[in-house]
Structure 1
Amino acid sequence: MSKPSSWPLPPNSNRYVVPRSLAERLRQHPLSSDLYPLGIGHYVQALGHAMTREDHDDYLLIYCTEGRGALTVGQHHGYLKAGQLVLLPRGLAHTYSADDADPWTIYWVHFEGESADAFFRNLPMDPDYPVIEVGQNAKLIADFENLLQVRRSGYQLRPFLHAANQLRQILSYLALLRSRSTATDSGFDLELIHSYMQSHIHEPLELETLANQVNLSKYHFAKKYKEATGTSAINHFINLKIEHACQLLDVGNQSISQISYALGYDDAYYFSRLFKKVMGISPSQYRGMRLGSWPRRS
């Protein structure tokens, strides 16, 4: 692990380094070998905090919640400000320091594992200057606080296996946040589009109708949506409809035809084909699972 700073901790701050013997057990364990924490911390108004690493041998995530700090990554110079985070991969030289006038408050975690690079690449960011905007996110802060609870575990393995899973959730959630913010930053309001889909779940929707919500042509809308989500808008809308159909099948006694009609499909056979394509079973088989009347393979 890259050595964390030896900077004196201010009040209400935490720094926890995983013992080397425990880190080795995490590296070898099948439930954590792909991703595991090496050190975790929370620095509050960290005046005087600074670090320079020419040889960085793990992965480091820093999330700034208040203030700011200077950041140099390779040949790029800038600031890490409240609502931003940086994810520094192995081998990328860097220098950072808290601002003297407005020192940052940060959460940080050093981590490693067989899938660490895959999680890094899953985040849409500039690999040469991997700073992204995520805003003041209550869930992200809560996730870091939960991760910090491992420091009270007495070096037992199982709490650290749980922490490894929490770290995986944080990195996966960041990718989701990033895809949303990327779309919004580019003037493409993904939340507006998805809200429109939800409010029209009982109707058929054309691609052109969705494109009109954000004042784009069908071509540019389809391209931007695919870039932001990895799928097509119509596929996502179909998935929302099938998800709603599952809820109706779970809680009500409407016929398949009635559910089909309620979701904007006049042809119940076509609706059933779509349902099976998404869920892998027919609507009647899905309902049979709930009622215990459709056998499932064990």
Structure 2
Amino acid sequence: MSQPSSWPLSVDSIRFVIPRRIVEALARHPLSEQLYPLGIGYYQHARGHRMQRDRHDDYLLIYCIEGRGRIETDGRNRRIRPGDLVLLPRGHSHRYETDAREPWTIYWVHFDGPRADDFIAALEPDPQSPLIPLGIHSRLVADFEALIDARQASHNLAAFVHCANQLRQLLTHIALLRPIAKRQADDSLDLEKVHSLMQARLHEQLDVGTLAAAVSLSKYHFIKKYKALTGTTPINHFIHLKIERACHLLDVTTKGVNEVAWAVGYEDAYYFSRIFKKSMGISPTQYRRIRLGEIGYKG
């Protein structure tokens, strides 16, 4: 893997370098040998983040969902905006950094494998630019979040094989979105941007003012437009996404209810359980018992 950034992580940011022993096993495993991740991360409001690589020996994908930055490749500088993907194949020296006034929030993944070039080719990149202006897509944010979940796998090879195949899904999802990625120049509400911010902040609280500011609307007009388009309020949808995430954690981890509550932004486990039951009709403990086969879907 190319040298990772030495940027000091903030509290809400993640950098996960996959252990070399696991990478070597992925490179040999028949279900992952063609394409596998090397490192995965999420940097939130990454003030001061910058990186320069004169030697780049893997593949790097960066997805900017907030803020701005710039990148220099082949002697040319380009601005990076929300919704831009940055694709850096091996062998290309580069330098990138966040904007000083509007620090970016990004997902990133370093990856490798003998079929990596084929997956990149499917994205139809511009040979003159590393940028793919894809736009903000909440499902793509969820794809990156699924990759980041691999850090909970400890040294379980099966979990990392699954992660490698989630990387395939992410890249093929981008290929699916690429032909229809157009920047809309009208004044309609950008739901994808709003929902992507929600997905990225599931582990914390998020107020209506922040969501409204992200799409340059007052709180009143934002709530009105959002409800007209979706039939619900932005906060109700955000809670729904949190409960979906909580269900996933109850399904795939052994975290206690307190830990799950904390992971989706609730410090009070009792309050979280009330919200969960209101949404799902059963408590978090009962939900997990269904997964374990101790009770049926109907109780």
TM over 0.5: yes
With normalisation by structure 2, the TM-score equals 0.60
Q: Which one is further off, 123-132 or 145-154? A: 123-132
What is the distance in 2 between the residues matched to 1:124 and 1:35?
18
Q: Which one is further off, 70-79 or 163-172? A: 70-79
Judge conservation of contact 1:60–1:110 (CA < 8 Å) in 2.
yes
State the match for 1:123 in structure 2: 123
Judge conservation of contact 1:73–1:93 (CA < 8 Å) in 2.
yes
List per-residue Cα deviations over 1:156-188 (Å, max 9, x = no partner).
Answer: 101100100100011001111111126999xxx
State the match for 1:170 in structure 2: 170
List per-residue Cα deviations over 1:225-269 (Å, max 9, x = no partner).
Answer: xxxxxxxxxxxxxxxxxxxxxxxxxxxxxxxxxxxxxxxxxxxxx
List per-residue Cα deviations over 1:100-143 (Å, max 9, x = no partner).
Answer: 00000000000001110111111112123121111110000011
Judge conservation of contact 1:124–1:179 (CA < 8 Å) in 2.
no
Alignment of 1:272-287 (within 5 A): none
The one-letter code matched in structure 2 to 1:119 is: F
Aligned residue pair count = 185
The one-letter code matched in structure 2 to 1:25 is: A
With normalisation by structure 1, the TM-score equals 0.60
State the match for 1:92 in structure 2: 92
> Is 2:39 aligned against 1:18?
no
What is the distance in 1 between the residues matched to 2:183 and 2:96?
29
State the match for 2:204 in structure 1: none
State the match for 1:66 in structure 2: 66
List per-residue Cα deviations over 1:73-120 (Å, max 9, x = no partner).
Answer: 112211111111111000011100011000000000000011101111
What is the distance in 1 between the residues matched to 2:12 and 2:139?
20
Alignment of 1:18-167 (within 5 A): 18-167=18-167
The one-letter code matched in structure 1 to 2:89 is: P
Alignment of 1:104-253 (within 5 A): 104-181=104-181
What is the distance in 1 between the residues matched to 2:183 and 2:64?
22
Judge conservation of contact 2:134–2:182 (CA < 8 Å) in 1.
no
The one-letter code matched in structure 2 to 1:160 is: F
State the match for 2:196 in structure 1: none
Q: CA RMSD in A?
A: 1.5
Question: Gaps spanning 5+ residues in structure 2: where?
Answer: 186-299
Question: Aligned with 1:71: secondary structure?
Answer: strand
Judge conservation of contact 1:35–1:116 (CA < 8 Å) in 2.
yes
Judge conservation of contact 1:42–1:106 (CA < 8 Å) in 2.
yes
What is the distance in 1 between the residues matched to 2:80 and 2:27?
31
Moved over 3 A (4+): 182-185
What is the distance in 2 between the residues matched to 1:115 and 1:183?
30
Identity of aligned residues (%): 52
List per-residue Cα deviations over 1:47-75 (Å, max 9, x = no partner).
Answer: 01100011100000000000011111112
